[in-house]
């Protein structure tokens, strides 16, 4: 039994490593070929997990071979657009200026119902509002609405906007996060001083995030009734 | 950048590992199989001359060989095949010990067939590919 357990753990870690090396993280990122490869790898691994009569190498060698083939194809796709077109296909226009492209839909086996589903999932409920609907090579449909139906942006409305500031995790369960400090270019002492000025002990902070503008949002731990604070920390601006 | 270098290094390592696995196990199997085939031939020859002592000595060496090499062979061959091979050696040895020449020759022939089979799995040939 321990053998079965250890074989399962080993192969699981091995498959995890291989899938990580292939560089794709989500099923939605996968081309049909990549998805097929992932399924084959899973199937090969499961055979050796369940059958102890089979040496682990019977799973490892085919998985490594598939990994190499996948890497080779990825390299070829990067180097040659014709290989990429052949293996991954090309994006297909399903709707052009509100008109369904019947010929393309038949060629891609994409039904009107499928298309309407995809449009609805993009919050588009009327075909006439669509300028372009493009079937991407990974099966997703990208939709560009006609200009009158596009939601106005802040720029269209002339609203002044601040910088798009990404927040970083700064404190977690009373511990300052080194990566957060580095990303925000702020030193530990500055944050501690800001906390002290507001009568907050670092050890009482359950979670804190800060953006590049120095806006620090924090929540105290349960012992301090999970109180929430919004502070401003002086940060050096990067140009 | 770091991950790309890591992946390139991993790909090179995978190539080297596969090259190692293509060469080393088959050479090891060849060495063991050649030795076993020689012993089987000698045992069969001795049995055909009714030399039970010589045949028994060869069969004992085959059994010892199976104990020494089978764990290593099981790392790259199907365990059931390796067990069958070791079982054939043991049966041949027992048959020679009790003087049952027919059963001994049958077990040795089965061992030869099994050796051919495992060689066929490990060595590349267009037939095994199909």
Q: Is the pLDDT of residue A145 over 90?
A: yes
Nearest CA in chain A to B25: A57
Q: Which of A175, A204, A193 is nearest to A235 (CA)?
A: A193
Cα–Cα separations (whole angstroms), residue B73 to A125, A131, B70: 64, 65, 5
Residue B68, in any domain of the structure: yes
**How many Å lie between the alpha carbon of B64 and the closest alpha carbon of chain A?**
22
B11, B14, B77 ranked by CB distance to A55: nearest: B77
Q: Do A71 and B11 touch (CB under 8 A)?
A: yes
CATH code of B70's domain? 1.20.120.660
Task: Work out the minimum CA distance from A64 to partner chain B, whole angstroms.
Answer: 7
- Residue A195 to residue A231: CA distance in whole angstroms: 8
Asked whether residue A239 carries a pLDDT value surpassing 60, the answer given is no
User: In this structure, are residues B124 and B21 in contact, taking their beta carbons and an 8 Å threshold?
Assistant: no
- 3-state class (DSSP) for residue A29: helix
**Which residue in A19, A50, A51, A53 has the most chain B C-beta atoms within 10 A of its own C-beta, making it the best mutation to test that interface?**
A53
For chain A, domains (ranges, CATH) are: 2-86 (no CATH), 92-149 (3.30.240.20), 168-232 (3.30.240.20)
List residues bridging with A169 in a β-sheet: A209
Neighbours of A84 (CB within 10 A): 18
When pLDDT is cut at 50, 70 and 90, the band that residue A25 belongs to is low
Instruction: Give the pLDDT of residue B10.
Output: 87
Inside any domain, residue B114: yes
Share above pLDDT 90 across residues of chain B, in percent, rounded to a whole number: 7
Give me the domain span that covers residue B112: 26-124
- Quick one: pLDDT at residue A113? 92
Domain count, chain B: 1
Q: Residue B129 falls within a domain, yes or no?
A: no
Least confident of A136-145, B1-10, B86-95, B106-115: B1-10
Asked whether the beta carbons of B88 and B107 are under 8 A apart, the reply is: yes
Is A57 within 8 Å of B75 (Cβ atoms)? yes
Question: How does the average pLDDT of chain B come out, rounded?
Answer: 86
Kindly state the average pLDDT of the residues A159-173.
Answer: 80
pLDDT-based confidence at A24, cuts 50/70/90?
low
Q: What is the pLDDT of residues B89-124, one digit of tens each?
A: 899 889 888 888 888 888 889 889 888 888 887 777
pLDDT attached to residue B99 = 82
Per-residue pLDDT, averaged over A165-188, amounts to 88
In the sheet where A175-176 sits, what is the strand order?
A: A175-176, A168-172, A205-210, A215-220, A228-232
Is A154 strand, coil or helix? helix
The answer to whether residue B85 sits within a structural domain is: yes
Residue with tokens 């006439």: A128
Chain B residues touching A61 at Cβ < 8 A? 18, 21
B115, two tokens: 């050796």
Contact flag B77-A71 (C-beta cutoff 8 Å)? no
From B15, B21, B75, residue closest to A68, measured CB to CB = B15
- Are the beta carbons of B6 and B22 closer than 8 angstroms? no
Per-residue confidence (pLDDT) for residue A218, from 0 to 100: 92
Whether residue A68 and residue B7 make contact (CB cut-off 8 A), yes or no, is no
pLDDT at residue number A99: 93
The distance from CA A202 to its chain's CA centroid, rounded to whole angstroms, is 32
**pLDDT number for residue B130:** 66
B47 within a domain of the structure (yes/no): yes
Identify whether B10 is part of a domain: no
Q: How far is A227 from chain B (nearest CA, A)?
A: 40
d(CA B20, nearest CA chain A) in Å: 11
A68 contacts B18? CB cut-off 8 A: yes
Task: Examine residue B104 and state whether it is found in any structural domain, yes or no.
Answer: yes
Q: Taking CB atoms and an 8 Å cut-off, how many pairs form between chains A and B?
A: 37
Could A68 and B17 be called an inter-chain contact, meaning their C-beta atoms sit closer than 8 Å?
no
Average pLDDT over residues B81-93: 89
Residues 6+ apart with CB under 8 A from A2: none
Tell me how far apart the alpha carbons of residues A229 and A80 are, in angstroms, rounded to a whole number.
Answer: 54
Is B14 close to A52, i.e. CB distance below 8 A? no
Name the pTM for this structure: 0.66
CB spacing of A53 vs B79 below 8 angstroms: yes
Q: How does the average pLDDT of chain A come out, rounded?
A: 86
**A229: phi then psi, degrees, rounded to nearest 5:** -130, 145
A6 conformational bin, left if phi > 0, alpha if psi -120 to 50, beta if neither: alpha
CA distance A71 to chain B (A): 8
Is B21 a domain residue? no
pLDDT tier for residue A101 given thresholds of 50, 70 and 90: very high
pLDDT at res. A29: 66
Chain A residue whose CA is closest to B74: A55
Percent residues over pLDDT 90 in chain A: 31
pLDDT exceeds cutoff 60 at A238: no
Under an 8 A CB cutoff, do A55 and B79 touch? yes
| pLDDT grade for B128, boundaries at 50, 70 and 90 | low
């Amino acid at each position: 039994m321990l053998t079965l357990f250890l074989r399962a753990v080993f192969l699981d870690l091995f498959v995890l490593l291989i899938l990580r090396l292939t560089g794709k993280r989500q099923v939605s990122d996968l081309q049909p070929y990549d998805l097929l490869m992932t399924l084959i790898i899973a199937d090969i691994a499961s055979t050796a997990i369940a059958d102890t009569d089979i040496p682990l190498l019977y799973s490892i060698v085919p998985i490594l071979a598939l990994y190499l083939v996948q890497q080779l194809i990825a390299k070829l796709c990067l180097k040659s657009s014709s290989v990429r077109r052949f293996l991954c296909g090309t994006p297909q226009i399903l709707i052009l200026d509100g008109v369904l492209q019947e010929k393309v839909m038949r060629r891609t086996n994409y039904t009107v119902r499928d298309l309407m589903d995809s449009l609805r999932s993009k919050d588009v409920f009327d075909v006439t509002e669509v300028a372009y609907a493009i079937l991407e090579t990974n099966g997703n449909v990208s939709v560009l609405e006609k200009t009158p139906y596009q939601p106005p942006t802040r720029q269209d409305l002339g609203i002044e906007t601040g910088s798009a500031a990404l927040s970083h995790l700064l404190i977690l369960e009373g511990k300052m996060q080194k990566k957060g400090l580095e990303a925000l270019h702020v030193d530990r002492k500055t944050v501690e001083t800001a906390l002290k000025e507001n009568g907050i002990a670092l050890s009482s902070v359950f979670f804190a995030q800060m953006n590049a503008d120095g806006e620090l949002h924090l929540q105290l731990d349960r012992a301090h009734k999970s109180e929430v604070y919004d502070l401003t920390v002086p940060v050096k601006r990067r140009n | 950048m770091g991950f790309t270098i890591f992946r390139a290094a991993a790909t090179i390592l995978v190539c080297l590992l596969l090259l190692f696995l293509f060469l080393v196990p088959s050479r090891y199997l060849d060495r063991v199989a050649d030795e076993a085939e020689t012993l089987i031939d000698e045992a069969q020859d001795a049995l055909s001359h009714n030399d039970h002592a010589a045949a028994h000595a060869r069969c004992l060496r085959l059994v010892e060989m199976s104990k020494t090499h089978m764990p290593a062979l099981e790392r790259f061959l199907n365990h059931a095949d390796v067990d069958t091979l070791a079982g054939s050696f043991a049966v041949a040895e027992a048959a020679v010990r009790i003087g049952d020449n027919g059963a001994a020759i049958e077990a040795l022939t089965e061992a030869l067939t099994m050796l051919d089979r495992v060689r066929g799995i490990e060595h590349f040939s267009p037939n095994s590919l199909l």
